[in-house]
Amino acid sequence: MVHPICKRALETWGETPQMLMVVEEMSELTKEILKNINRKFDNIEAISEETADVEIMLEQLKENYHIAEKVEAYKQQKLKRIEHYLDEFDKKSA
């Protein structure tokens, strides 16, 4: 279920600005992750904030394209696949 504020933001500001904002927020998170890894920045606060921004924007993306159920189905499928790889990894490491 989409957060009512996310739905309202999408309705108020519209599809194009909000979908561009998804990209902008993802790039901000990317930048903070790279700073943390490449330049050894202590920026957990910034990473936390940008992760929140991305999650808020992903909610709007799912609402905009009406794909929340599909995303959830893919997520479950992919988690199962990752679990399988992990089990295989554990077997090889044992």
- CB of residue 54 to Mg ion, shortest distance in Å: 8
Three-state DSSP state, 43: coil
- CB of residue 52 to Mg ion, shortest distance in Å: 8
* Packing angle, helices 68-93 and 44-65, rounded to 10: 130
Residue placing its CB nearer to Mg ion in the complex, 10 or 57:
57
Establish if 28 lies at the interface with Mg ion (CB under 5 A). yes
Site residues (CB under 5 A) for Mg ion, limited to 7-26: 25
Give the Cα separation of 83 and 93 in Å (integer). 15
Cβ distance 59 to 6 under 8 Å?
yes
Q: Which of 53, 56, 58, 68 binds Mg ion (CB under 5 A)?
A: 53
Give the Cα separation of 11 and 45 in Å (integer). 30
Minimal CB distance to Mg ion: which residue?
Answer: 53
Give the residues lining the site for Mg ion (CB under 5 A).
Answer: 25, 28, 50, 53
